[in-house]
A and B are shown apart, each in its own frame.
Chain A
Amino acid sequence: DSGVTQTPKHLITATGQRVTLRCSPRSGDLSVYWYQQSLDQGLQFLIQYYNGEERAKGNILERFSAQQFPDLHSELNLSSLELGDSALYFCASSEEAGGLAKNIQYFGAGTRLSVL
């Protein structure tokens, strides 16, 4: 068990809908990262938050947004869903924001999103 908790484990929804994925980081970790794993795109970095502030952005669509709350949990919001958004969404957490410190990212079990 990595200590990173993601809910729900599975989500089935229809095109055009909006969903929220939730992540609780490991105790003491201030950084949260979101990744998308799909068959055609592989594993891609979406966005990073550090202590409530957005720190880095990757290939995240404008229909997607995220935030990190004062208790450090994070939510990834996906709206106007399309069939191509079906994927496994991972949250990871680490102690620090970045730099070259020993900053290992520990992953949650993921949320499998199916858009029908």
Chain B
Amino acid sequence: AQTVTQSQPEMSVQEAETVTLSCTYDTSENNYYLFWYKQPPSRQMILVIRQEAYKQQNATENRFSVNFQKAAKSFSLKISDSQLGDTAMYFCAFRGATNKLIFGTGTLLAVQP
């Protein structure tokens, strides 16, 4: 069975600084997708970025980028130039052949002014 692990329950970063959130996963599948979702205090689940496992190039979306290490089964999220609006719970998620999303336990990120 697939599992997703986020080992950092909480993190804090100063505004305009860079922060990296960690995620590891376990699967025997070769083709899959990985996602980072953001859940602000409003509770809405917002897709931040996705990575296709068969693509070697790391995905980027504006200030958000990932470091995908397939062999190590690692998928970290880097947020550059952190903004107050980035304060949220961040969930790493895996989607394989079954199509359901398997989520980690989340990392609560606080951006300090």
Contacts and interface: CB of A to CB of B under 8 A. Distances in A.
Interface of A: 2, 31, 33, 35, 42-45, 48, 55-56, 58, 88, 90, 92, 97-100, 103-107, 109-110, 112
Interface in B1-58: 31-33, 37, 42-47, 50, 52
A31 to B, nearest CB: 8
A98 B42 CA distance: 29
Nearest to A112: B43
Interface size class of B (residues with CB under 8 A): 20 to 34
B83 interface: no
B100 A88 contact: no
Contacts of B105: 42
A103 B42 contact: no
A42 B103 contact: yes
Given A42-B105, A42-B106, A43-B91, A103 B99 contact: yes
5 contacts: A42-B106, A43-B103, A48-B100, A100-B32, A106-B47
Contacts, number: 59
Contacts of A106: 47
Contacts of B72: none
A98 B43 contact: no
Interface in B58-113: 91, 95, 97-103, 105-106
A99 B45 contact: no
B100 A109 contact: no
* Minimum-distance CB pairs A-B, first 8: A98-B99, A107-B45, A43-B103, A45-B100, A109-B44, A100-B31, A42-B105, A110-B43
A6 B43 CA distance: 13
Contacts of A92: 45, 101
